Structure 1
């Protein structure tokens, strides 16, 4: 079995608005339907809460931080799932059931490198 990361990109979410609450039912349904392959997942706070970290001059160099995300984009990384699937085909089939895939967002699926 291969482990995949399903990255959820949607327009910025304001968790104080009603739409995320309405969508939570769809996500609960997905969680039940995909329980056999789900290994984890969470929603993320808005990109305004992000801190970007860089180190200049190599390891041990000056740590530089920037408020906000690395890139300015229309869609933001708003959540993720960790999926353990037989192959990419099963991972894509599962990712297509994530509500963001049909509610104005996209889901990016990537295999995870397992280091021992």
Structure 2
């Protein structure tokens, strides 16, 4: 069994995990330590059974659905040779090929929610 780390930022966590569940993509939540500065809100490890190539198709479908469901959503994939790939505009089959070579990826929502003010903080403070 191997895992692929997804660094989930800010408001991306709930929508991303919901899509994983809807597409039956197996994942584990990684423990994050309180008081330790982290760039991402959390880490979700996508679990792949050894030899299960079909997992990439499910994950690719999740990432395409995530990006298309709202403007401002981004997925950035880092491959094992440290190439950075922005997933916006890629087809599911193209994403499958990139994910097969991935070491990790980041899930980002750049849009502010209704509860955030101009300063980007809850309540607008």
**TM-score normalised to structure 2 length:** 0.36
Greater share of residues in strand: 1
The answer to which structure, 1 or 2, has the higher relative contact order (CA under 8 A, 6+ apart) is 1
Larger Rg: 1
